[in-house]
Structure 1
Amino acid sequence: MNKQLPQERREELINLLKTRFEKNKNRHAGIDWANVQAKIEANSNKMWSLNEMEESEGEPDVIGYDAATDEYIFVDCSAESPKGRRSFCYDRAALDARKEHKPTNNALEFAEEIGVELLTEEQYKNLQQLGKFDTKTSSWIQTPAAIRQLGGALFCDRRYNHVFVYHNGAESYYAARGFRGLLRV
């Protein structure tokens, strides 16, 4: 798969990300856009992943910086779970287990395809400190192996001004459930 974006799209994406970055300074206090942009432009695979996040309506934005790895952390900051990543079951095993009415894809493989990770429970709760996300939708999160081995998977949402963590059969899928990705650049 070609992970190179045409120059015109690269410029459009950088401008879009910069505009979002400047509009939402509360998400990344103390982070300088010029440094973020330099990191993105230096890594075409990460730029491609950011474009995939954007194309599936995730509205990626910087929410932090990891000094230990010298990486900026991007997360989908769309108000609701990204539209282009909904109606997915949790993983390949869940997709294969469905006999009828299979969803088009699964969250873990799609995340891998676009080069992102599902959020952990802690990351999801931290994101909710930066705004109100998933007030009408929900998002799959990384599920501990012990839960997954028993057929379950975890998802989160925000209702009643509180973040909830729930469980469901991993093979389930809903029009209002997707997943949020995390990308380190």
Structure 2
Amino acid sequence: MAEPLFQQLQQLQREFRGHPPVHKWNPDLCGDMDMVIRRDGRWVHEGTEIRRQPLVKLFASILKREGDEYFLVTPVEKMRILVEDVPFVATQVARGSEGGTECLLFTTNTGDVVPLKRKSDWQLKPFGDPPQPVPYIEVRDGLQARVSREVFYQLVNWAEEGSEQPEAHGKLWLHSDGKEFLLGTY
């Protein structure tokens, strides 16, 4: 049952690969917009949550990161917005095989499908109160998604203990695209 879902997610990834080329757009800063992407992935404009998912997806498609700041950009406009943590949350994960190699696919709250590949930017960073190491994955062009609690628990079920090497002892690892990714320590 997981295999057809995995194949559907791969197909969606191929079909909707096209995001606007915001990395090529460098207009002058027009100012700040009263928009916040909350820690939980909600987009808020002028104090009101944007509930129309197509509008959130549109804004997400023109989001650009420069250093520690985030902007909504078009070829001629650039508006700074506030992001409390990172702009996306990985809300689903599927696993399957691609060419005989196990691969994990993450889906974000905005519908991006992100494979965990050998060259993926996968990091454990502190989050919450008290801070605990939580996985983050790059979605595109320096924009990251934090792995949700539900997805994290699914990953723990799939993770394997480290090998016999002393430096791997007490650590949980995920396997994707022929590489091990650290999930955490125990």
Question: With structure 1 as the length reference, what TM-score do the two structures score?
Answer: 0.28
Tell me which protein shows more helix as a share of its residues: 1
Question: With structure 2 as the length reference, what TM-score do the two structures score?
Answer: 0.28
